[in-house]
Amino acid sequence: MIDYSLNNAILRLAPRFIVSDNAPDTLESLTRQNSSSLVVWAGASDSTIFGDKSVNWAFRAWHDYLHLKLNAEFNEKGETIVAIEQARQLRNDAQGRIITIEVIEQLNYFNKHGHFPVDQLKFFNDTMKGIK
């Protein structure tokens, strides 16, 4: 499920970023970054709904930028706030729904299993089947 118009929107909305194996994982560590570019985690980007690692990294940068802007913690409340803001910025209900499901359902999975889905694309497709 690759929505190229969504990918293009993400690339347009993403701030400058660099990719690393070591990236901030809390709002506090995100705010302490001493770079003009956000540092985003390189891992778990092989099987995403975006179909391209660079779009996944851009999504992460945009997502983390909103954590900073909204002062939203890396918890259920903060992730929900950020996902809703991302959906709003897209100005496209279908794309916003995709992002909201992507963020919130992966968080629900993490809370239940203690880790994120390995195959994010399969997880998303399975989730969408259950919603329809």
| Contact call for residues 100 and 83 (beta carbons, < 8 A) | yes
Q: What percent of the chain has pLDDT over 70?
A: 98
| Separation CA 111–CA 106 (nearest Å) | 9
How far apart (Å, rounded) are the C-alpha atoms in residues 101 and 96?
A: 9
DSSP conformational letter for 20 = E
Given a cut of 80, whether residue 35 has pLDDT beyond it is no
Q: What is the pLDDT of residue 78?
A: 97
Over range 54-58, report the average pLDDT: 97
pLDDT at 132: 57
CA distances in angstroms from 65 to 41, 49, 70, 96, 105, listed in the order given? 13, 20, 9, 17, 20
Flag whether pLDDT at 130 surpasses 80: no
Mean pLDDT confidence for 88-98 = 92
Q: What is the pLDDT of residue 27?
A: 93
Q: What is the pLDDT of residues 109-124, one digit of tens each?
A: 999 999 989 889 899 8
Q: How confident is the model at residue 1 (pLDDT cuts 50, 70, 90)?
A: low
In this model, does residue 84 exceed pLDDT 80? Answer: yes
Which of 26-35, 60-69, 114-123 reaches the highest mean pLDDT?
Answer: 60-69
